[in-house]
Structure 1
């Protein structure tokens, strides 16, 4: 029995749909438009950073120090993040915690001295358990060191076969970042305590050098300076050096005319000052006009034997020399590090500018040099018992010395050096 074949049904294709001519095309972003948008974003955030920094500086030394500490943490975070990606892949979950623990112990060790200096008066005058607080502060270096030793023990206990090379390399990188970032930041904090000018002048010189290196580079630049930064030119480098030298005179002239910028922080109460409160101090000799003898040949030429000048101008020119010739290598170092890990920026914390590290790479090196330069050639603070007693007798009145003695008695009583009976007798005697 033969089967009849059923003819195939003809499948009709749907009629073509007419194109929707009413639909608007999407926005076309070309290279020119992209650069324009990037320029706008970069300009806006540049203004935000400038005015934000001025606001923090005017708020006072305490908030400026907090700002520097925050920058340290952000830079540390960015540098660690680009070097520890492999830890996630190898299930080394404790690596990140260890890095942050080392950061905390390092800051505690370095900033402990400042904590002792600027909170001791507060603890003496307060009703807090001063004896315990004093013991903690006095032994803070030992406590910080013990905390670091615990981190070392924890690191050894978490070593994992197959990842040993990476773990030891990561530990070395962490310590290098702590040295290059946290130690340098500690120097910058001390610069602020020496006087706001020792913070603002180095920062301003680096910013000025960076700006003029860009301007001179795009205007005259032809010769490449260093291979890891192809856009850096010899002409921009030299032009920025000359412009930064002149800028150092202008910045110094402005800053050294305000007590708020030149007065150091000497006690806890000074940390509470801001640009609107009155500040007074005996200025460092570098801010006072002095006579300098002019070389004989030049003296005959200008018909003058002596010139009156504030020494700070000469120091500022030396700082500008470092800011122009040495500090940029901090930026070159950062460029090399980014190329080593094949990243464009350290992060995207600041829109249009990349990460905080991309803006601070030269500042930390400049800050440490400024600190060491100040301590070596400018500082006049060499404290011992003789100098301290002489300073008290010469500069304090009788009632002020009496207040000092009472405060010392209170401190000795609270830390247990003198008994309560002796303390009461001393109070009655001095009343």
Structure 2
């Protein structure tokens, strides 16, 4: 548990550095998210067992690296999606009968999902440049707070298994605890942001924050369990070992894949800052 906490503090430090660089060099958010996404996709391809096939690995990683670097560029994004699809189809033909079609579908589909979903974190910078980092931090921490809250509550009082066939350690008590903690801390995040940076002069919608906290707590479980199915299908414990106690980059961002797009869409309907 101590290793997990220390690694969590390291991740928080990286996010803090991300915020600092954002004020100095706004495009740094895109660069950091590109590196995170590319690393996650690399781990995903490795878990499926296609890392040795460079014609699958390189296009997937290149695609994951490129999309966050060309935000708000619809034409070039579509070109990138098209080229990636062509490369994957060509590789499928070239490696016919050498590679399982199921594995190719998993890599292609999940690379598209992970890259597109995590790119919404970068796109938040363009929704509201003044408050973008609040949304970015919220997208990351809404997933992580729910996960951490569920982990610690479940460790102490968890008795009833949530999905034992997929994730034996998750409990109903942990999920409920994570749900409550997430709502409270997301609302606190909005309050502190207003207090520290604007002297409580902003009009903050705590209803929106409460909805975000509750829904993302549920979505983080969906994301975590969904990627756990992939790991179980390929008999791997973690996608990587980059972050001690947490696994790889994909393990740390699996919930963000679901939470990020929700927050990106939600704040355009019910803004947090009125």
User: TM-score normalized by structure 2?
Assistant: 0.82
Report SS of the residue matched to 2:270: helix
- Which of 149, 158, 161 is 1:221 aligned to? 158
Alpha-carbon displacement from aligned partner over 1:234-264 (angstroms, at most 9, x marks no partner): 111112212222222221110123558x9xx
Report SS of the residue matched to 1:222: coil
Instruction: Note if contact 1:245-1:320 (Cα within 8 Å) is conserved in structure 2.
Output: yes
Q: Residues 219-298 of structure 1: matches in 2 within 5 Å?
A: 219-227=156-164, 228-259=166-197, 287-288=202-203
Report SS of the residue matched to 2:243: coil
Change in Cα spacing, 1:107 to 1:45, as seen in structure 2 (3 Å) is closer
Residue 82 in structure 1 maps to residue 50 in structure 2: no
Residue 95 in structure 1 maps to residue 56 in structure 2: yes
Change in Cα spacing, 1:105 to 1:163, as seen in structure 2 (3 Å) is farther
| Partner residue in 2 for 1:363 | 256
Alpha-carbon displacement from aligned partner over 1:197-224 (angstroms, at most 9, x marks no partner): 1112232332222222122212221111
Q: Residues 328-407 of structure 1: matches in 2 within 5 Å?
A: 328-378=221-271
Residue 48 in structure 1 maps to residue 10 in structure 2: yes
Report SS of the residue matched to 2:195: coil
Q: Distance in 1 between matches of 2:77 and 2:49?
A: 25
Q: Distance in 2 between matches of 1:153 and 1:202?
A: 32
Greater helix proportion:
2
| Partner residue in 2 for 1:207 | 144
Report SS of the residue matched to 2:247: coil
* Offset, 1:341: 0.4
* Offset, 1:321: 0.8
Q: Distance in 1 between matches of 2:234 and 2:150?
A: 26
| Partner residue in 1 for 2:219 | 326
Structure ID, larger Rg:
1
Q: Distance in 2 between matches of 1:169 and 1:325?
A: 29
* Offset, 1:106: 4.3
Q: Residues 171-210 of structure 1: matches in 2 within 5 Å?
A: 171-193=104-126, 194=128, 195-210=132-147
Report SS of the residue matched to 2:162: strand
Q: Which moved more, 1:175-184 or 1:343-352?
A: 175-184
Q: Distance in 2 between matches of 1:93 and 1:341?
A: 20
* Offset, 1:64: 3.3
Instruction: Note if contact 1:191-1:199 (Cα within 8 Å) is conserved in structure 2.
Output: yes
| Partner residue in 1 for 2:20 | 58
Q: Distance in 1 between matches of 2:95 and 2:254?
A: 35
Alpha-carbon displacement from aligned partner over 1:331-373 (angstroms, at most 9, x marks no partner): 1111111111000110111133210111111122111100000
| Partner residue in 2 for 1:70 | 35
User: TM-score normalized by structure 1?
Assistant: 0.54
Q: Structure 2: any 5+ residue segments left out of the alignment? A: none
Alpha-carbon displacement from aligned partner over 1:161-192 (angstroms, at most 9, x marks no partner): 752772x4344223322332111112111224
Change in Cα spacing, 1:153 to 1:79, as seen in structure 2 (3 Å) is closer
Q: Distance in 2 between matches of 1:338 and 1:156?
A: 24
- Alignment root-mean-square deviation, CA: 2.9
Change in Cα spacing, 1:155 to 1:230, as seen in structure 2 (3 Å) is closer
Change in Cα spacing, 1:106 to 1:170, as seen in structure 2 (3 Å) is farther
Q: Structure 1: any 5+ residue segments left out of the alignment? A: 1-38, 114-139, 263-282, 289-309, 381-431
